[in-house]
Amino acid sequence: MKNAHIRVLVVLAVLSLVGIVGTQVFWLNRAIEQQDQVFNHNVHVALRNVVESLCEANGKDFPSINPIEQISGNYFIVRTNDKIDLANLEYLITAEVKKRAISQDFEYGVYDCANDQMVYAENVNLFEDNSQDVIPVLKNDEYYFGVYFPEKSKNLFEGFDLWKYTTAISLVVIIFFGYGLFVILKQKRLSEVQKDFINNVSHELKTPLSTLALASSTLNEKVKGSDEKYVRIINQEVLRLQKSVEDILYSSLLETNVSVDKERLNISEFLSEMVNDAREKYAPKMVQWKLSSKDSKDVVTNKKLLESSLRNLFDNAVKYGGKNITVQVTQDQKGATIEVKDDGIGISQEHQKKIFKKFYRIPDINNQHNQKGFGLGLHIVASEVKKLGGSISVESTLGEGSVFKISIPNG
C-alpha cells in the first residue's frame, strides 16, 4: 500500500472517529441539559406548591413576585416573609418532591433574614424515616428557606445506559482502529524491507551473472567435443537467470511514479510487425498466428511498453499450450482494445483475479509449478498497461484457452 493511500485511510478514519465522538458528546450534552431543565422545572413547581400550601395555612395570599430563586445549579431559596410551620415544611417539601418524581435526597434549611443566620437545617433521605422528636420554635416572622440537592450532578447521569453502551462501542472501535493501523504500518514496513532486499539481491546478482555470461561465451568458442554441451547448458542457465533478474528490476521500476513519453502509433502496422516477428520466433513450435484488424487509426501511446506487454502475452500463450493464437484490435475515438486469444490450457475461475499479482503463480496438481519463472510476467504486463493509462482483463475457461484484453486510451 502506498504512503498516499495510508495517509488517506488514516485521515478518513480519524475524521470518522472524531465525528462519532463529537456527535456522542453533543447529544449527551443536549440530553443532560434537557434533563437539567426538566429537573429545575419540577423543583420550581414543587416549591411553588409548597409556598401555596404555607400561604393557605397562614391565611395569606400568594406573593405577587416570584418567591423562588435558583442560586446555583442545585440550590434553591424560597422567600416566604412569614412564619414557617416547621412541622409541615419537611412534609410538604417531601410530598411535592415525590409527586414530581424527583428521587434525589435533599437538604433544607430555614434562615432568619433579620439575624442573617440559619436557625434550622435538616438532611432528608427520601427512602428513610426522617421524623424528629424536638422541633425548634421560631420567633421571627421574616424567614426564607433553602433547598439543596447535593447529588444532583451525579444523578443527572443516571438513565444514560444507552450512552454508556455506545461509548463502550466507540472505545472498542478506537482500539481496533489503532490496532489495525499498527498492523498496516507493520506490514508496510515488512513489504518495504522485502522489496529492498529483492532489489538489492537482484542488483548484486546482475554483475556476477554478466561475468558468467561473458565467461561462458568465451568457453563456448574454445571448448569442442563432448564438453561443448555442458558449456551450452551453462550459457542457457545464465541467460535465464539474467532474464529473471532483469524482470525483477524492471517490475520494481514500473512501480515507481516515473512518467512515460508517448508517441503517435499506427496500431494496425505495429501489430502486423509484432505478429510477423512472433511467427519467426515460434516457428519451431508450429504455432499458427492470425491478425484481425478492422480499422487503421493512430493512437498516442508508448510503443516500448505496449510492445513489451504484448510480447509477454505471446510468450504466455505459447508457454501454456497455445497452437492457434489470434490477435484482434478494435478502435474508437477513445482508444484501442487489443485481444490476444489462444487455445491453450486456460485458467480456472478462482485464479483469474490473482494472476496479475506480483510473484503469483498458478499451482498445478499437488501445488507443483512445472513452468519455470517467478510469476512476474502478467504482473509486468498489468503494470505496463497501467503506465499507459489503460486496463487489462482476462476471460478464460479451463481447457478451452484464454482471451486477454488490453484497453489503451488515445493519449
pLDDT of 187-231, one tens digit each?
Answer: 877 777 766 766 676 666 767 777 777 777 777 777 776 677 777
Q: 234 and 181 in one domain?
A: yes
Owning domain of residue 106: 3-156
What secondary structure does DSSP assign to 192-253, as a single string?
HHHHHHHHHHHHHHHHHHHHHHHHHHHHHHH--GGGHHHHHHHHHHHHHHHHHHHHHHHHHH
> pTM for the full model?
0.50
Contact at 8 Å (CB) between 356 and 378? yes
Model confidence band, residue 372 (pLDDT cutoffs 50, 70, 90) = low
Q: Poorest-confidence range of 27-36, 126-135, 213-222, 261-270?
A: 126-135
Q: Which of 205, 227, 254 is the last residue of a domain?
A: 254
Mean pLDDT to the nearest integer, 351-356: 86
Model confidence band, residue 128 (pLDDT cutoffs 50, 70, 90) = low
Q: 9 and 149 in one domain?
A: yes
Model confidence band, residue 237 (pLDDT cutoffs 50, 70, 90) = confident
pLDDT of residue 59: 75
Mean pLDDT to the nearest integer, 48-74: 82
Q: Can you tell me whether residue 297 is helix, strand or coil?
A: coil
Mean predicted lDDT score pLDDT of the chain = 78
Q: 87 and 36 in one domain?
A: yes
User: Is 85's pLDDT higher than 80?
Assistant: no
CA torsion, ordered 356, 359, 361, 366, to nearest 10 deg: -150
- Distance (Å, whole) CA 216 – CA 210: 10
Q: Poorest-confidence range of 93-97, 206-210, 273-277?
A: 206-210
User: Is 147's pLDDT higher than 80?
Assistant: yes
Contact at 8 Å (CB) between 298 and 266? yes
User: Is 137's pLDDT higher than 50?
Assistant: no
Q: 130 and 38 in one domain?
A: yes
The CATH number of whichever domain residue 331 belongs to comes to 3.30.565.10
Q: Which three cell numbers stand for residue 7?
A: 495517509
Model confidence band, residue 161 (pLDDT cutoffs 50, 70, 90) = low
User: Is 136's pLDDT higher than 70?
Assistant: no
Q: Which of 119, 137, 156 is the last residue of a domain?
A: 156
User: Is 162's pLDDT higher than 90?
Assistant: no
Q: 323 and 239 in one domain?
A: no
Q: Can you tell me whether residue 190 is helix, strand or coil?
A: helix
User: Is 43's pLDDT higher than 70?
Assistant: yes
Highest mean pLDDT among 3-7, 76-80, 287-291: 287-291
pLDDT of 374-400, one tens digit each?
Answer: 677 888 888 888 888 899 999 998 888
Q: Poorest-confidence range of 11-20, 80-89, 93-102, 301-310?
A: 80-89
Q: How many CA atoms lie within 13 A of 56 on its CB side?
A: 9
Is the torsion defined by CA of 354, 360, 361, 366 positive or negative?
negative
Mean pLDDT to the nearest integer, 137-159: 68
Q: 279 and 233 in one domain?
A: no
Q: 402 and 350 in one domain?
A: yes
Mean pLDDT to the nearest integer, 66-87: 80
Q: In what order do the strands lie in the sheet with 75-79?
A: 68-72, 75-79, 143-148, 106-112, 117-124
Q: Which of 254, 271, 304 is the last residue of a domain?
A: 254
The CATH number of whichever domain residue 184 belongs to comes to 1.10.287.130
Q: 179 and 80 in one domain?
A: no
Model confidence band, residue 114 (pLDDT cutoffs 50, 70, 90) = low
Q: Which three cell numbers stand for residue 204?
A: 548484486
Model confidence band, residue 403 (pLDDT cutoffs 50, 70, 90) = very high
pLDDT of residue 3: 66
Q: 269 and 224 in one domain?
A: no
Highest mean pLDDT among 212-216, 241-245, 349-353, 358-362: 349-353
Mean pLDDT to the nearest integer, 299-307: 87
Mean pLDDT to the nearest integer, 232-247: 74
Q: 25 and 148 in one domain?
A: yes
Q: 345 and 228 in one domain?
A: no
Q: What percent of the chain has pLDDT over 70?
A: 77
Q: 230 and 195 in one domain?
A: yes
Model confidence band, residue 353 (pLDDT cutoffs 50, 70, 90) = confident
pLDDT of residue 94: 85
- Looking at the structure of the chain, the number of domains it has is 3
